[in-house]
Amino acid sequence: TRPITLLGIESSCDDTAAAIVRANGSRGEILSNVVSGQTDLHAAFGGVVPEIAARAHAEKIDLMVEAALAEAGVSLGDLDGIAVTAGPGLIGGVLSGVMCAKGLAMGSGLPLIGVNHLAGHALTPRLTDGLAFPYLMLLVSGGHCQFLVVESADRFHRLGSTIDDAPGEAFDKTAKLLALPQPGGPNVEREAESGNPKAFALPRPLLDRPGCDMSFSGLKTALLRARDGLIERDGGLRRGDRADLCASFQAAVADVLTAKGRRAIAAYLEREPAEPVLAVAGGVAANATIRHQLQTLCAETGLRFTAPPLALCTDNAAMIAWAGIEIARLGHVDGMDLAARPRWPL
């Protein structure tokens, strides 16, 4: 296969991102990868506000594309196509990206490739590690939680997913309940370091049920009850309580992911992969306790464990450009009727 160079555009949540990726055979090279976050814009609201996000994407997206081209030292004429996240996500943001990509494709005559954001995450370990199909992927972030067998660039077998909150969301809500700053994940993890993970017996939801589906919203409710119990008994949280609550919460999340991960691995191994691998991606994969338990599980079950570098685990456009390359190689190209989809299951 000849080298192929794509521009990727991502704007489905609260990051406006553009990247240039070149692929030569099975190897991918990131020529540029720029991202503009919106955390400050949404900070006062305790979550992403769709209307504010859409405006910020519309404002920033052209700048990001220009920056990605400049940083890579290429112009539109050097590209083979334009890949853009066409969903799932906040529709205003997705539309900003799709409109921008359509404009560029129309002006340049380059092919347009719509990419599923989740496929972007799921295919990243091929860009960073050249993983062979099929591999097992745990996608665990503020918006997603699923175990996937990645069979090809356009075939994903979902073994299970959360039936309510994503773990990152649960970390963020836990931080809020305990008056810790956002984003919750890293702050809850830091607080948990000095806590006792066995201090509170929080539930491990759905472990009594077969399959790989998960639930995290009950955990948050249990934590709230534990917190209020302490406040009622002691008149407030005492020194060490917060750390114990964080540690107990984190242990519960890690246990659920590990127990369901064990089942996912068993289902994956039935396919007899030549080189069994578990790849993790998403912001929550940065958590050391969760990572450690999954690594131990992989060692026990004979899988290699891998995680892309954090900047490629969280939302970015390099993963969209790369997925676009893989999809284009399968012969899929979109027309000007490419739709922005708020929901788009893999």
Residues 283-342 binding Zn ion (CB under 5 A) are 315
CA angle 292, 243, 309 (to 5 degrees): 35
* 171 touching ligand KG4, by CB under 6 A: yes
* 165 touching Zn ion, by CB under 5 A: no
Among 88, 92, 184, 324, binds ligand KG4 (CB under 6 A): 184
Pick from 34, 29, 103: nearest CA to 68 = 34
Nearer to ligand KG4, 189 or 334 (CB): 189
Q: Is the dihedral of CA 241, 243, 247, 249 positive or negative?
A: positive
Retrieve residue 257's tokens.
């992911």
Among 189, 213, 244, 326, binds ligand KG4 (CB under 6 A): 189
Q: What is the Cα–Cα distance from 117 to 133, expressed in whole angstroms?
A: 19
Q: Would the annotation count 81 as a binding residue? A: no
DSSP secondary structure, 270-305, as one string = TT--SS-EEEEESGGGG-HHHHHHHHHHHHHHT-EE
Nearer to ligand KG4, 108 or 182 (CB): 182
The answer to whether the CB of 16 falls within 8 A of the CB of 56 is yes
Comparing every residue's Cβ against Zn ion, the nearest one is 315
The answer to whether the CB of 18 falls within 8 A of the CB of 34 is yes
Among 286, 297, 317, 318, binds ligand KG4 (CB under 6 A): 286
* 169 touching Zn ion, by CB under 5 A: no
Question: Residue 189 binds which entry of Zn ion, ligand KG4, none, with Cβ cut-offs from 5 to 8 Å by kind?
Answer: ligand KG4
Nearer to ligand KG4, 32 or 314 (CB): 314
Q: What is the Cα–Cα distance from 345 to 150, expressed in whole angstroms?
A: 14
Count interface residues toward ligand KG4 (CB under 6 A): 20
The residue ranges that bind Zn ion (CB under 5 A) are: 315
User: Binding site membership for substrate: which residues?
Assistant: 139-143, 172, 185, 189, 287
Residues in contact with ligand KG4 by CB under 6 A are 13, 141-143, 168-169, 171-172, 183-186, 189, 282-284, 286-287, 314-315
